[in-house]
Amino acid sequence: MKRLIRWFLQGLIYFVPIALTLFVLIASFRAIDGALGSLVGIDVPGVGFLILIVLVTVLGFLLSNYLSRRVLGALEALLDRVPLVKLLHSSVKDLLGAVVGEDRKFDAPVAVELVPGSGVRAFGFVTRDSLREIGLADDMVAVYLPQSYNFAGQLVAVPRARIQPVTGESAEIMAFIVSGGVTGRWLPAARR
């Protein structure tokens, strides 16, 4: 009986992440596809998703044109005047720009010593090398600490002397943090 339970649990460990990932992908696809498909009155699976891909590509093309960039800039300026919309729009735009934009911010992974002398460290990313503009000491830096298994995090200001650069690609470090330290494919097998 113990062997059956162990096999079941081992199967569960592999099945649940795959099933959950597939469920989220399929549900997202259906939601996007259904919403855009019904918007144009076409009820063919995949058409709504294809419309989304075409619209995003056309938007990218338009942004490569100076005149279109000015028009879309005016639209963004309008969005940034509405109080609640401004908060949402600017936050999402800044986050996407920090992760996938040309001016990536999560490219300096570090370990932060939380309590001096304790040896306890949190992993994060330096997002600003100086916080002088907000009145903090010259040696203070901004470090973003993503939370494990969550799409949130904390921004902390720490003295530069309490951070230590971490070896590894930023995407690998982010996966390591978000997984709670479980994912670490770049680490040598003996250190896992």
Q: Which of 63-67, 72-76, 121-125 has the highest mean pLDDT?
A: 121-125
Residue at 51 is within a domain: yes
> Percentage of the chain with pLDDT > 70?
79
Query: Are 53 and 138 in a shared domain?
Result: no
Q: From the CB of residue 173, how many other CB atoms can be counted at a distance below 10 Å?
A: 23
Query: Are 92 and 164 in a shared domain?
Result: no
Query: Are 75 and 157 in a shared domain?
Result: no
* pLDDT of 190 above 50: no
Q: What angle do CA 96, 146, 53 make, to 5 degrees?
A: 25
* pLDDT of 67 above 60: yes
Residue at 190 is within a domain: no
Residue at which a domain ends, from 57, 74, 100: 100
Query: Are 46 and 95 in a shared domain?
Result: yes
- pLDDT tens digits, 76-119: 888 778 777 776 777 777 666 666 666 666 778 889 888 888 88
Q: Domain range holding 33?
A: 2-100
User: What CA–CA distance (Å, rounded) separates 35 from 52?
Assistant: 10
Query: Are 35 and 72 in a shared domain?
Result: yes
- pLDDT tens digits, 36-63: 777 777 777 788 778 888 888 887 787 7
Q: Is the pTM value of this prediction over 0.85? A: no
Instruction: Provide the angle, in degrees to the nearest 10, between the axes of the packed helices 2-40 and 47-63.
Output: 70
Identify the CA nearest to 147 among candidates 176, 116, 126.
176
Q: How many domains does the chain have?
A: 2
The per-residue pLDDT for 192 is: 39
Q: From the CB of residue 176, how many other CB atoms can be counted at a distance below 10 Å?
A: 22
Query: Are 113 and 76 in a shared domain?
Result: no
Identify the CA nearest to 177 among candidates 140, 144, 129.
144
Q: What is the mean pLDDT of the chain?
A: 75
Identify the CA nearest to 153 among candidates 133, 173, 130.
173
Query: Are 91 and 146 in a shared domain?
Result: no
The per-residue pLDDT for 187 is: 57
